[in-house]
């Protein structure tokens, strides 16, 4: 069970690992005072995945790795809903871009460094950078460079690509995540990593946090604001640059 997301060519898949070790403390799995009494850790994890899939919206903050050889770390801080409305920021290598997706259109506003990184493999990209830096860049939702960025269902589905990762979990007591009580489910991998899943104990069993520790790529992803409306506003026409029109004009130049 790995958390993942995509930010097109510039920022793509694979966020923090999830899943879970070490039965801690006292009390049995079936104690009357224990959250989810009578349920195994594996069953709780399955319920958490299902509840998170069904949530109307959520906010995710964590570090992902760009696909490919570079493995660039990318920080994602996004609110997204079932209708693919989303708003937030993505950052990498000291650069940052604001993100809005509404009415089937994606808008990105990145600094010069962000666009140099994003367009470095594109023909004529160096000529485009000055025209898009610090402006809202408009791109169709199905544009290959940005496809999947605001897909909540794809994000949650990616968390459960390897169902074996949520098998053999152990309950590891309770704690709080940003003030909300959570049960910890842990598992030690053969590679020496400890994978931990934090599941809300009150209300619906939403995933609140996932962590990977003890390995070469420690990581954390935090989830919050379940059910909170996501209502990004499209930038004004005078604030935007159309990526397709810009690319077409660049080819003629």
What is residue 216's predicted lDDT score, i.e. its pLDDT?
Answer: 76
Separation in Å, CA 114 to CA 109, 172, 230: 9, 41, 25
Average predicted confidence (pLDDT) for the chain: 77
What is residue 65's predicted lDDT score, i.e. its pLDDT?
Answer: 57
Quote the percentage of the chain above a pLDDT of 90: 39
Between residues 25 and 150, which one has the greater pLDDT? Answer: 150
Give the pLDDT band of residue 34 (cuts 50, 70, 90): low
Q: Is 170 helix (H, G, I), strand (E, B) or coil?
A: strand
51, pLDDT greater than 80: yes
Listed residue (204, 205, 198, 192) closest to 169, CA to CA: 198
Q: Could you give the residue ranges of the DSSP H alpha helices within 64-193?
A: 112-118, 125-132, 152-158
pLDDT tens column, 113-165: 888 887 877 777 788 888 898 999 987 655 555 566 788 887 777 666 666 66
Residues found in the chain: 253
What is residue 120's predicted lDDT score, i.e. its pLDDT?
Answer: 79
In this structure, what token pair is assigned to residue 4? 């993942």
Overall average pLDDT of the 18-30 stretch: 28
Model's pTM, two decimal places? Answer: 0.77
């Amino acid at each position: 069970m790995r958390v993942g997301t995509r930010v097109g060519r510039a920022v793509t898949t694979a966020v923090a690992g999830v899943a879970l070790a070490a039965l801690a403390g006292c009390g049995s799995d079936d104690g009357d005072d224990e959250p989810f009494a009578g349920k195994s850790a594996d069953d709780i994890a399955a319920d958490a995945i299902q509840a998170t899939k069904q949530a109307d919206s959520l906010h995710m903050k964590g570090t992902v790795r760009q696909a490919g050889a570079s493995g660039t770390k990318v920080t994602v801080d996004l609110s997204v809903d079932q209708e693919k409305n989303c708003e937030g920021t993505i950052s990498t290598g000291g650069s940052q871009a604001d993100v809005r997706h509404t009415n089937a259109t994606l808008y990105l506003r990145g600094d010069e460094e962000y666009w140099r990184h994003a367009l470095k493999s594109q023909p004529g990209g160096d000529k485009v950078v000055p025209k898009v830096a610090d402006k809202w860049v408009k791109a169709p939702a199905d544009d290959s460079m940005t496809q999947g960025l605001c897909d909540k269902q794809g994000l949650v589905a990616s968390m459960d690509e390897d169902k074996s990762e949520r098998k053999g979990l152990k309950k590891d007591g309770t704690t709080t995540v940003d003030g909300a009580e959570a049960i910890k489910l842990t598992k030690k991998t053969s590679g020496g990593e400890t994978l931990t899943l934090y599941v809300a104990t009150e209300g619906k069993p939403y995933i609140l946090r996932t962590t990977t520790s003890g390995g070469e790529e420690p990581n954390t992803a935090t989830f919050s604001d379940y059910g909170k409306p996501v209502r990004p506003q499209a930038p004004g026409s005078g604030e935007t640059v159309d990526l397709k029109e810009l690319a077409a004009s660049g080819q003629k130049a």
